[in-house]
């Protein structure tokens, strides 16, 4: 197949650019993973160190030209970090929900104990009464309950707590006290396990896991807790809907932040003023992407990244082809790459085969390039069909050498189609050298100063 050919070329520079983009996205993934983990207290420095070591190992793959391996492993690492971060956020949400439930149990148990003491007409010191009314943490309430248990008359204490519990309550803070108090607390009113409140706790936990302050809902949650158990499911709907909407927005915001951070990382490896400006806009939008046109920034970033990458890749493809043809003896001069872009095609001559050359087309709007052997001269001149066929055959061998040169430089060429030699008459083009000389002469005439009149 030595006639006209269509092919795609991927250069070493293009492959390296792809790898750098992948590594930039990995850096963004590491940042997102670290930020979420630190915010929720679910990672330690040793976890971070392991991830950074792994990232550095992947960077070294680029230095050793292991491009395919790098691309596969970077994609796998990014997917792992995303999944691991989601697992850690879920764990933090579960911990927060559990903490809410424990606090509610402790508050209800403290209230029950206070009512028990009052029913027995036990004199309660002000400090213990105040401590039992605290709403801070379950640990502080349990400490107060341990003290209050000591105030119960012996018979009431026997009914309320076991010998082991009284012993632990006496210790006021021993390591095992929490477990026995929890047993006692768990035996209190079943309304503490209200399904509506459990759902509220779950959603509040998810908000905390996403880094969203749940305090705007505190008053409504307290109001729901004060409702009789029979009414809670009826009055909880509005709160649950608002909490679910807040969680949904929080998840969308977190995804958008991760995506913007990834695009920002890719833009950071580009040098254009437009990329630098857009990167600044993205960084400003990260704290509140949903209210800062984050989606629009994402679209603009995708468009710009794709545009600049395609322009770079196209320029590298043209450079690789022209350099390869120059090494095969074709006449390549400065400005030919620009002419190729402007005209959509270019013809190269070869001194050793006068009257023949090659025509290059495409590459400006797609990655598909076309090449064919051409005759240089006038269409009115007679043609030697045998010689034309021989030149197409010779060009076939030269094209194989061009592919080998690209491969040696770290790229590759993929054929889309090739026509047999002689299937079409050889295309006849005007002498590109003559056209270039005419342009030079015309340019010199335009630049010549006008002589003043005599």
pLDDT tens for each residue of 30-89: 999 999 999 988 999 999 999 999 999 999 999 999 999 999 999 999 999 999 999 999
Is the pLDDT assigned to residue 176 strictly greater than 70?
no
pLDDT tens-digit series, residues 260-310: 999 999 999 998 999 999 999 999 999 888 877 899 999 999 999 999 999
Beta-sheet pairing, 356-362 with 345-349: antiparallel
The answer to whether residue 24 sits within a structural domain is: no
- Count structural domains, the chain: 1
Residue 167 lies in a domain: no
d(CA 66, CA 72): 10
Counting residues of the chain whose pLDDT is more than 70, the rounded percentage is 84
425 near 4, Cβ under 8 Å? Answer: no
- Give the pLDDT of residue 184: 56
Q: State the average pLDDT over residues 355-370.
A: 85
Backbone φ and ψ for 349, nearest 5 degrees, come out as: -95, 165
Q: What is the pLDDT of residues 121-154, one digit of tens each?
A: 888 888 888 877 766 677 777 787 888 878 877 6
Share of the chain above pLDDT 90, in %: 44
pLDDT band of 160, cuts 50, 70, 90: low
Predicted pLDDT of residue 167: 53
| pLDDT confidence of residue 450 | 35
- Of the pLDDT bands very low, low, confident and very high (cuts 50, 70, 90), residue 193 is low
Q: What is the mean pLDDT of the chain?
A: 83
328-361 residues labelled b (16+ CB within 10 A) or e (exposed): bebebeeebbebbeeeeebbbbbeebeebbbbbb
In a domain, 337, yes or no: yes
pLDDT of residue 98: 85
User: pLDDT value at position 191?
Assistant: 44
Asked, for residue 423, whether it belongs to a domain, the answer is yes
In angstroms, the CA 149 to CA 170 distance is: 9
Residue ranges making up the domain that contains 406: 314-445
pLDDT band at residue 185 under the 50/70/90 scheme: low
What is the rounded average pLDDT of the residues 361-379?
Answer: 83
pTM over 0.95: no
The tens digit of pLDDT for each residue in 378-428 reads 777 777 888 888 888 888 889 999 999 999 988 899 988 888 777 778 888
Residue 269 lies in a domain: no
Which is more confident, 178 or 52?
Answer: 52
pLDDT for the residue 129: 81
Instruction: Report the pLDDT averaged over residues 184-194.
Output: 55
How large is the average pLDDT for residues 223-235?
Answer: 83
**Cα-flanking dihedrals φ and ψ of residue 330, to 5°?**
-80, 150
Beta bridge partners of 414: 8
- Dist CA 412 CA 431 (whole Å): 31
Q: Domain for residue 343, yes or no?
A: yes
Is there a domain that residue 372 lies in?
yes
The pLDDT, as a whole number, for residue 389 is 87
Q: Is residue 322 part of a domain?
A: yes
pLDDT band at 100 (very low <50, low <70, confident <90, very high): confident
């Amino acid at each position: 197949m030595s006639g006209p050919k269509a092919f795609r070329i991927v250069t070493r520079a293009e492959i390296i650019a792809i790898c750098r983009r992948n590594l930039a996205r990995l850096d963004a993934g590491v940042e997102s993973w670290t930020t979420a983990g630190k915010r929720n207290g679910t990672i330690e420095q040793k976890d971070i160190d392991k991830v950074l070591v792994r990232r550095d190992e992947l960077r070294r793959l680029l230095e050793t030209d292991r491009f395919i391996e790098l691309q596969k492993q970077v994609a796998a690492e990014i997917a792992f970090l995303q999944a691991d971060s989601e697992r850690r956020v879920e764990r933090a949400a579960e911990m927060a929900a559990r903490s809410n439930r424990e606090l509610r149990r402790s508050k209800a148990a403290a209230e029950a104990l206070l009512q028990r003491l009052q029913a027995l007409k036990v004199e309660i010191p002000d400090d213990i009464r105040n401590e039992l009314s605290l709403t801070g943490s379950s640990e502080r309430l349990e400490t107060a309950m341990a003290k209050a248990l000591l105030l119960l008359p012996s018979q009431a204490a026997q009914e309320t707590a076991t010998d082991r519990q009284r012993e632990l309550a006496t210790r006021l803070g021993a390591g095992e006290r929490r477990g026995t108090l929890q047993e006692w607390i768990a035996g209190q009113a079943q309304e503490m396990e209200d399904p509506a409140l459990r759902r509220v706790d779950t959603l509040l936990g998810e908000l905390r896991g996403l880094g969203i302050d749940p305090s705007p809902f505190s008053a409504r949650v307290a109001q729901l807790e004060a409702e009789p158990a029979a009414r809670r499911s009826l009055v909880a709907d509005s709160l649950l809907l608002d909490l679910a909407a807040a969680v949904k927005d929080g998840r969308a915001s977190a995804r958008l932040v991760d995506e913007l951070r990834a695009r920002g990382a890719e833009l950071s490896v580009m040098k254009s003023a437009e990329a630098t400006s857009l990167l600044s806009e993205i960084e400003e939008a990260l704290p509140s992407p949903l209210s800062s046109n984050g989606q629009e920034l994402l679209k603009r970033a995708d468009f710009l990244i794709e545009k600049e990458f395609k322009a770079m890749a196209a320029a590298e493809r043209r450079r690789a082809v022209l350099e390869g043809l120059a090494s095969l003896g074709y006449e390549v001069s400065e400005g030919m790459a620009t002419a190729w872009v402007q005209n959509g095609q270019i013809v190269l001559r070869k001194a050793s085969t006068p009257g023949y050359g090659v025509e290059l087309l495409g590459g400006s709007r797609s990655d598909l390039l076309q090449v064919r052997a051409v005759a240089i001269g006038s269409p009115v001149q007679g043609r030697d069909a045998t010689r034309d066929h021989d030149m197409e055959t010779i060009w076939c061998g030269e094209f194989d050498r061009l592919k080998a040169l690209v491969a040696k430089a770290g790229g590759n060429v993929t054929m889309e189609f090739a026509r047999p030699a002689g299937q079409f008459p050889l295309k006849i083009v005007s002498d590109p050298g003559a056209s270039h000389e005419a342009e030079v002469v015309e340019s010199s005439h335009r630049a010549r100063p006008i002589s003043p009149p005599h």
